Chain A
Amino acid sequence: MRDNRRARLILAMLLLTAFTLITLDYRSGGGGPLRSIGNAVFGPVERAANAVAHPIGSFFSSLGHLSSYKSENDRLKAQNQRLLQQLHLTNADKAHLAAADKLLNLAGRAQFRIVAARVVANGSSLGFESTATIDVGSQDGIKRNQTVIDGDGLVGKTLSVGPTTSTILLGNDPDFTAGARLEGSGQHVGHVDGGGRNPMTFTLLGTQATMKVGDQLVTYASIGDRPFVPEVPIGHIVRVQPTPGQLFSSGIVAPYVDFGSIDIVGVVVGTPRTVKRDSLLPPSPTPSPSAGSPSPSASSSPSGSPSPTGSP
């Protein structure tokens, strides 16, 4: 144990410096100059690293989805050319095309103006955070506190924006919270909260309102649509939690977005004046006897109404 005193002195000075940094950053509320420098310096490096390493990562993360993408192959081939132009995908594989297709579809139906982006890095910080870096920044018109979506629904919001990259807070981060509305209802609103390792929860405000399993949730617009634009699908209720003696009821939410494998996302930079209510929701997840038909309109008329064109 040689030069132990010197080592202890060095450690003490480093700890002092660390606590000074922590205090300064905490008091300034984060987003200090050092973090801006980190964004500007490391963002491009991450983009480059991702260009090299992405095929490896996407190979692993797409293993679980191979079968479902194969069947969509034919349809996607037709849209290949258009999507390549719109998204500048240089190395587009089937999974990316499927994701991009769904994103454009959702944004198109909502008439959102989006800036398409790819996730280049994910944050963890020893497992406590759920954040991601995307490859668009202030040069692309991205600002703080904008809604991030993918083809399935709400991904999160932008936290800090560098010149060519931005950090987004994902919906499963414990720090994440968003106003939400139950489908079909007028004013049945509350908030969803990311749970970290625990599932996402929805708290319904108001004593009159009730929720049931299968109810779908969409975002409730924030003031000036920042950070959240309205009507983006979030997920559906899978369990209603008993809250005896509480004013608010709460439920467990299964989000539509798989936060573990997000890749192609869109930052919403513009919204139409109104978005039609519940117009962006996927088919209702309520269990139906007909084996999971994907189109809701086809299976929604079980009554034996006489159809004039049906008889041969």
Chain B
Amino acid sequence: MRRSLLAAAVVLTALMLQAVVVNRLPVPGYGPDLPVLVVVAFALGAGPSYGALLGFITGVAADVLPPADHTLGRLALAYAVAGYIAGLVEDVEERSVLTTVAVVAVGSGVAVILYAGVGGLVADHRVTASAVAHSLVSTVIYDVVLAPFVVPLIALAARRAEPAA
């Protein structure tokens, strides 16, 4: 329960930071995608069910958060699958930093591909081959760079919130 409250607070913060700060930073490419990073970080500590559910809720919030302008449910689907996949790695003994980074890379990449894939189904002509390639490279690289800082921090906070689960 306390972990869920923590997750809700962190997700809301990530969504706000993304819209208000990150998307306006003059960085090359598109910058990181904080919500998927947060979903993956919580999923790594709480398993696939939790990861999928948190990903879905985060995605729905991101879908309706202004100024989003795409078909409702696309990010929900993308983040849910990313959270599920990350959650599958929960039980790996002695998870190394490298594994964590790899999971973040896969989660971010899967999110982009699913978001773009569903975009193709609903005839979103923002989805072009070059846009997908750029988004994939940019999102994965930035999220991987942030992962060693964000994931341990969230893991620590989650353990504090719900000790000895």
Q: Which residues of A pack against B, CB within 8 Å?
A: 1-4, 6-8, 10-11, 14-15, 17-22, 24-26, 30, 32, 34-35, 37-39, 42-43, 45-46, 49-50, 53-54, 56-57, 60-61, 64, 119-129, 131-133, 159-160, 162, 165, 167-169, 173-175, 196-198, 260-261
> B155 at the A/B interface (Cβ < 8 Å)?
no
> B42 at the A/B interface (Cβ < 8 Å)?
no
B84 contact set on A, CB distance < 8 A: 7, 11
Q: Are A49 and B23 in contact (CB under 8 A)?
A: no
Q: Are B21 and A56 in contact (CB under 8 A)?
A: yes
Give the number of chain B interface residues (Cβ < 8 Å): 65
Sort A-B residue pairs by CB-CB distance and give the 6 closest, nearest first. Answer: A38-B64, A21-B73, A127-B30, A18-B77, A7-B48, A25-B72
> B19 at the A/B interface (Cβ < 8 Å)?
yes
A122 contact set on B, CB distance < 8 A: 19, 23-24, 67
A37 to B66, CA, bound (A): 10
Q: Are B48 and A11 in contact (CB under 8 A)?
A: yes
Q: Are B47 and A174 in contact (CB under 8 A)?
A: no
Q: Are A34 and B72 in contact (CB under 8 A)?
A: yes
B75 contact set on A, CB distance < 8 A: 125-126
> B69 at the A/B interface (Cβ < 8 Å)?
yes
Q: Which residues of B pack against A, CB within 8 Å?
A: 16-26, 29-31, 33, 47-49, 52-53, 55-56, 59-77, 80-81, 84, 87-88, 91, 111-112, 115-116, 118-119, 122, 124-128, 130-131, 134-135, 138-139
B37 to chain A, nearest CB (A): 12
Interface of B is mostly: helix
A65 to B21, CA, bound (A): 18
Q: Are A127 and B53 in contact (CB under 8 A)?
A: no
A213 to chain B, nearest CB (A): 25
Q: Are B16 and A45 in contact (CB under 8 A)?
A: yes
A120 to chain B, nearest CB (A): 7
Chain B residue nearest to A61 (CB atoms) is: B26
Q: Are A174 and B23 in contact (CB under 8 A)?
A: no
Q: Are B56 and A18 in contact (CB under 8 A)?
A: yes
Chain B residue nearest to A38 (CB atoms) is: B64
A179 to chain B, nearest CB (A): 19
A126 contact set on B, CB distance < 8 A: 30, 33, 75, 111-112, 115-116, 135, 139
B16 contact set on A, CB distance < 8 A: 45-46, 49, 53
A35 contact set on B, CB distance < 8 A: 64, 68, 72
Q: Are A64 and B70 in contact (CB under 8 A)?
A: no
Q: Are B134 and A197 in contact (CB under 8 A)?
A: yes
A35 to B68, CA, bound (A): 9
For A21, A24, A60, A261, which residue has the most chain B Cβ atoms within 10 angstroms? A21
Contacts A53-B17, A127-B135 known; A14 to B66 CB distance under 8 Å?
no
Q: Are B52 and A7 in contact (CB under 8 A)?
A: yes
A115 to B20, CA, bound (A): 21
A159 to B70, CA, bound (A): 12
